[in-house]
Structures are given as structure tokens and as C-alpha cells.
Structure 1
Amino acid sequence: MSPNSDVIAPFLLMRAFRGLVDAVHESLADAGFPGIRAQHEFALQAIGAGCTSVQLGERLGVTKQAATKTAHSLEAMGLITRETNTSDRRERTLTITTAGRRLLALSADAFCDELARWRRVAGDDAVTTTLTTLSQFGVGGRSDVDLSDWI
């Protein structure tokens, strides 16, 4: 099938996304963060300055149970802490650790490095046009980190 065929568009987008993410994860593994998956990075982005598992679930578009499971994984990897809320002992506040912030910084650098490679291969104008075009789609009420269909 020709890469200019509209039917192949979703496959090209998935392949490009997968290649981008795989390159970043390889870089993270080399930097001491093996086993990181896209859901971990999306969850860290969603946690931001801190939130509860319920809020994480809302931000990711997943159930509280899925968010709690992801939080447990992140905690086991040392990327977040879960601290008891003093006013409601049932509630835990998720906070990104120093290691989690380092992972996010390394991840951002790796994404920039991979996009720089794309620019070398395809040219600045082509990559800028592609990114500008992609930014105009997929806004149907979902947040940028909504993984409700993936986690």
C-alpha cells in the first residue's frame, strides 16, 4: 500500500509513535530506568505537582483501580511517594520523587533528541508541518494524557 493512501494513515501514525516511544525508552533504560512504559510517563505527567489516585484516574481517563495500580507500580520503582492525607486518612497524595523528576527530564531530552533525528532525516519544514497538522486533531474532549483505552 502506498504511504500516500489515506487508509494507511493510522498505521503510519502508530508506527511513528511506537518508534518515538521505543527510542525514548531505550535511552531511559541506558540511563538507569529499565522497564519504563508509556503509561508510566503519562501518569507522571498527570500527577504533576501532586494528586490523589482518584484525581489521577480522572486525569488519565481510567478507573480509580487502574490509577491505583499504576501508582503502586510507580511507587515500587521509586518514582513517586504516596503520603497519607492528615485530614482524611483514607486518602493518599501522590508526589513525584527526585528520581521521578529526573526520569521526566531525561525523557524530555530523549524526545527532543529523537525529534532532532526526525528533522535530520525528513527536514525541519516537514517535521514542523507534521506536528502543526497533528496539533489540530484529536481534541474531542479528552486530555492529552487520557489513556482510558490503553491502561
Structure 2
Amino acid sequence: MSERERWGFELPLLLFAGFRSLIDQLHTELADHGHPEMRPAHGFAMQAIGRDGVTASELGRRLGVSKQAAGKTVDRLAALGYAERVADPADARRKLVRLTGRGRDALELSAAVFEELRGRWTDQLGRERLTELEDALETVVGPAAFRLDAASWFGD
């Protein structure tokens, strides 16, 4: 199909389908490696928690959701063993949310799986075409490309 024959609505659908394909394959691998309960929103939240931990309020800001919604996400991650609430060493009145060993393991595994998936795309498209695609997407989306608030689109 030539460029002139494509409809405008196809671009977001193709981009989303590519994203969905990667995320679905990631979660299949996570399930096969001991993380069957992981959901896309969990990964966004765990990335937002980061290495040092955050308060629930800060987590909400990073994810673009309310403090209450962030708290529910933390409750779910804690129930699954991926995060925990601990006293903030800088202020005993505050609680920090931080990743557990299981949470860090899931993120490390995710990073490895994404590398493998990128390798598969390289095999299908060729290194040059994939690099061109990535460069083009970076140009179009600009510095806002790596926002974690997309999780609010997908629910828990």
C-alpha cells in the first residue's frame, strides 16, 4: 500500500499494535519466568518507584494519577511481593514505597526481555531500518517520549 492510500487513523493503530505486541510478548516471558501476575501498569509503577523509592504522592505525580490511585497500585504491588512501604529515613512521619528483591528481579528480567525483543525486530527489519524507525519516532515525539504516566491509560 502506498503512502497516499493510507488513512490517518492507521498510524496510531500501527504504533499501538507494535507497542501491544512488545508488551504482550514481554508478559508471556515474565509469566514463564515466575511473574504471571505482572500487568503493564505494574511495570510503569515499578519504573516510577525507581531504585531509591518514592512517597505515594510522588508516585502519583510520576504516573499522572491521584495519590489514592497510586496508593491502590502500591497495595497491589505489595500484595504481589513487588513493593513494600518503609519508614523514610529522612522523615519518620513519611512512608516510602520501594521495590523488593522480587520487584527488582522483575524489572531486570523485563530489561533483558526487551533487549531480546528488540533483537527480534532487528532480525525482521534489519538493523538500519529499525534504527531509522527509532530515530524517526524520537524526532516526532521529542523530549516527552519517556513519560511514565501512560500507565493511567491502561488501568491496574
Q: Structure 2-normalised TM-score? A: 0.87
Name whichever structure is richer in helix by fraction. 2
Give the match for residue 58 of structure 1.
61
Alignment TM-score, normalising by the size of structure 1: 0.89
Find the aligned partners of 1:28 and 1:41 in 2 and give their Cα distance.
11
Alpha-carbon separation, structure 1, partners of 2:32 and 2:11: 32
Displacement over 3 Å in runs of 4+: 84-89, 137-143, 148-151
Is 1:22 aligned to 2:3, yes or no?
A: no
**How has the CA–CA distance of structure 1 residues 6 and 136 changed in structure 2, closer, same or farther, with 3 Å as cutoff?**
farther
1:105 aligns with 108
% identity of equivalent residues: 37
Q: How many residues align?
A: 149
Quote the residue 2:81 is aligned against.
78
Counterpart contact for 2:138–2:145, Cα < 8 Å:
no
Q: CA RMSD in A?
A: 2.0
Kindly indicate whether the alpha-carbon contact (under 8 Å) linking 1:59 and 1:143 is maintained by their aligned counterparts in 2: no
Q: Per the alignment, do residues 50 and 3 of structure 1 end up closer, same or farther by CA in structure 2, a change over 3 Å counting? A: farther
Q: Distance in 2 between matches of 1:101 and 1:12?
A: 31
Unmatched 5+ residue regions in structure 2? none
Deviations 1:90-140 (A, max 9, x none): x32001111111100000011111110011011111111111111223358
Shift of 1:36: 1.1
* Equivalent position of 2:149 in the other structure: 146
Runs of 5+ unmatched residues, structure 1: none
Contact persistence 2:30–2:110 (CA under 8 A): yes
Which amino acid letter does the alignment assign opposite residue 35 of structure 2? Answer: F
Could you tell me how far 1:88 is from its partner in structure 2? 4.8
The corresponding residue for 2:72 is 69
